[in-house]
């Protein structure tokens, strides 16, 4: 049986996402629910930054906070569709647009996938406390509004829209909890729900609280990871006060991961300090141990690689005995360069790894 899940877009899906959009153009098909990806085909990285801004946006009469996801088919790890969920509505969206926009790629239509897409989207709505979803479709797009009806959608209005779509539009309301209860037959297609850790924010380090949070992560991570790897005296010297002093002194080129208001990880990046100078470098990446295996490190690395995209190569140094970190960097696309050096501060050997853009 095929299984599906919603995935927060990341840099690793760049080529596939662009191919997904191009399929609509090749098939001369309209596209909806992509969080404006069609406008960012030339700068996918900027689109990812936009999605992060969308999620943290304060609602107003112009824009509202939203989440955008890829619908992934587990069997072949392929993007099958997309869904955009507006977490609140302003007056404009209550009149046209509603909470949800969605799509299935043209060559995968007619298989019932959009019902699964909408079902998973309703689970996200339920998580955010949205009781009733407003969703609309063009009257001449029965595949879309029949999907809404299949999940309990009740038609509330039919009208001619002469502002946006210039056609007859039908509005539906879906009682979220009722839909999820009465249509649980779609649960068998769910690989996993959107995880709470997917909603962790990745952003530039800016505030004093974020700087202090970064300092704590560095202190905590060193004392979680490095005992038995580095000189004990180096660990003793790295006190919370020392980490905070470093954090306030070096503020540039830092991205933090936040779970609500708590900093749980960070990555530092910039121009390589050694020759050749036309190479980018990831200077540090740490995540609190309790968040291991949640994709936080991967998202931090993706954010740093986006910032360093102007460089043909990106390097990093990692402690030779830090096998877990080396495995992680391999998964991110880094390979060993064969270079080693001795770090006198921690009295341990380091190896160099390279990422080729």
pLDDT digits (tens, 9 = 90+) for 22-37: 999 999 998 988 999 9
Residue 247 burial by Cβ neighbours in a 10 Å radius (0-12, 13-18, 19+): buried
Please, which pLDDT band fits residue 294 given cuts at 50, 70 and 90?
Answer: confident
Instruction: Report, in angstroms and rounded to the nearest whole number, the Rg of the chain calculated over CA atoms.
Output: 23
Task: Judge contact between 342 and 349, C-beta under 8 A.
Answer: yes
Of the residues 171, 195, 219, the one at which a domain ends: 195
The sheet carrying 254-259 orders its strands as 201-204, 254-259, 262-271, 280-287, 313-319, 348-356, 335-343
| Pair 186, 218 in one domain | no
pLDDT digits (tens, 9 = 90+) for 153-181: 999 999 998 988 899 999 999 999 999 99
Whether residue 194 has pLDDT greater than 70: yes
Task: Judge contact between 348 and 319, C-beta under 8 A.
Answer: yes
Task: Indicate the range of 88-97, 191-200, 333-342 predicted with least confidence.
Answer: 191-200
Span 66-89, mean pLDDT? Answer: 95
pLDDT given at position 45? 86
| Pair 225, 350 in one domain | yes
| Pair 154, 28 in one domain | yes
> What are the start-end ranges of the H helices in the chain?
14-26, 44-56, 91-95, 113-127, 142-150, 176-182, 208-225, 232-237, 240-249, 296-307, 323-331
| Pair 257, 171 in one domain | no
CA–CA separation, 19 and 183 (whole Å)? 32
192-194-196-199 Cα dihedral, nearest 10 degrees = 150
pLDDT given at position 196? 60
Of the residues 195, 229, 249, the one at which a domain ends: 195
Element (H, E) at 355: strand 348-356
Question: What is the pTM assigned to this prediction?
Answer: 0.70
* Mean pLDDT over each residue of the chain, to the nearest integer: 92
Q: How many CB atoms lie within 10 A of CB 309?
A: 13
Taking alpha carbons only, the member of 36, 31, 37 closest to residue 144 is 31
pLDDT given at position 106? 96
Q: Which residues pair with 227 in a beta bridge?
A: 230
pLDDT given at position 112? 96
Taking alpha carbons only, the member of 209, 211, 227 closest to residue 268 is 211
Whether residue 123 has pLDDT greater than 80: yes
175-181-183-189 Cα dihedral, nearest 10 degrees = 120
Which has more pLDDT, 69 or 49?
A: 69
Span 262-272, mean pLDDT? Answer: 94
* Phi, psi dihedrals of residue 266, rounded to the nearest 5°: -160, 160
Longest dimension (CA), the chain: 74
| Pair 25, 138 in one domain | yes
The parent domain of residue 49 ranges over 4-195
| Pair 12, 153 in one domain | yes
| Pair 242, 140 in one domain | no
| Pair 174, 255 in one domain | no
- Reported as half-sphere exposure (CB side, CA atoms, 13 A), residue 265 has a value of 26
Task: Judge contact between 10 and 299, C-beta under 8 A.
Answer: yes
The CATH number assigned to the domain holding 92 equals 3.40.630.30
pLDDT given at position 163? 87
| Pair 159, 214 in one domain | no
Q: Which residues pair with 281 in a beta bridge?
A: 270, 315
Structure tokens that stand for 46 in this block: 């900027």
Domain count, the chain: 2
| Pair 292, 348 in one domain | yes
Whether residue 198 has pLDDT greater than 70: no
Give the position of tokens 């979680």: 224
pLDDT digits (tens, 9 = 90+) for 322-356: 999 999 999 999 999 999 999 999 999 999 999 98
Peptide bond into 319 cis (omega under 30): no
Of the residues 145, 177, 195, the one at which a domain ends: 195
| 88-105: b (≥16 Cβ within 10 Å) or e | ebeeebebebbbbbbbbb
Task: Judge contact between 95 and 220, C-beta under 8 A.
Answer: no
Whether residue 195 has pLDDT greater than 80: no
């Amino acid at each position: 049986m095929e299984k599906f899940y919603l995935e927060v877009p990341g840099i690793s899906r760049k080529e596939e996402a662009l191919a997904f959009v191009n399929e609509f153009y090749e098939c001369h098909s309209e596209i909806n629910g992509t969080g404006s990806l069609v406008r960012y085909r030339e700068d996918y990285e900027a689109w990812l930054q936009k999605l992060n801004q969308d999620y943290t946006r304060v609602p107003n009469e112009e824009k509202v906070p939203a989440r955008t996801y890829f619908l992934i088919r587990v069997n072949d790890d392929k993007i099958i569709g997309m869904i955009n969920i507006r977490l609140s509505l302003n007056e404009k969206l209550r009149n046209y647009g509603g909470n949800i926009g969605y799509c299935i790629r043209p060559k995968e239509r007619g298989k019932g996938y959009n019902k699964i897409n909408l079902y998973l989207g309703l689970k996200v709505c339920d998580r955010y406390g949205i009781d009733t979803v407003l969703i609309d479709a063009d009257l001449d797009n029965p595949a879309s509004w029949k999907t809404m009806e299949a999940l309990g959608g009740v038609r509330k209005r039919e009208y001619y829209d002469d502002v946006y779509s210039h056609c007859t539009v039908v509005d539906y309301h879906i009682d979220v909890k009722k839909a999820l209860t009465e249509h649980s037959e779609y649960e068998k297609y769910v690989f996993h729900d959107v995880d709470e850790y997917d909603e962790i924010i990745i952003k530039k380090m800016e505030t004093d609280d974020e700087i202090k949070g970064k300092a704590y992560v560095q202190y905590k991570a060193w004392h979680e990871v490095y005992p038995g790897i580095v000189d004990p005296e180096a660990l003793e010297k790295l006190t919370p006060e020392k980490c905070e002093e470093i954090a306030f002194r070096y503020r540039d080129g830092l991205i933090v991961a936040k779970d609500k208001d708590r900093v749980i990880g960070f990555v530092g990046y910039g121009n390589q300090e050694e020759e050749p100078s036309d190479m980018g470098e990831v200077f540090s990446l740490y995540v609190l141990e309790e968040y291991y295996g949640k994709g936080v490190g991967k998202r931090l690395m993706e954010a740093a690689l986006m910032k360093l995209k102007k460089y043909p190569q990106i390097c990093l140094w990692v402690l030779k005995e830090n096998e877990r970190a080396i495995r992680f960097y391999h998964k991110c696309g880094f390979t060993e360069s064969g270079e080693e050096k001795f770090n006198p501060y921690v009295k341990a050997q380091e190896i160099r790894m390279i990422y080729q853009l």
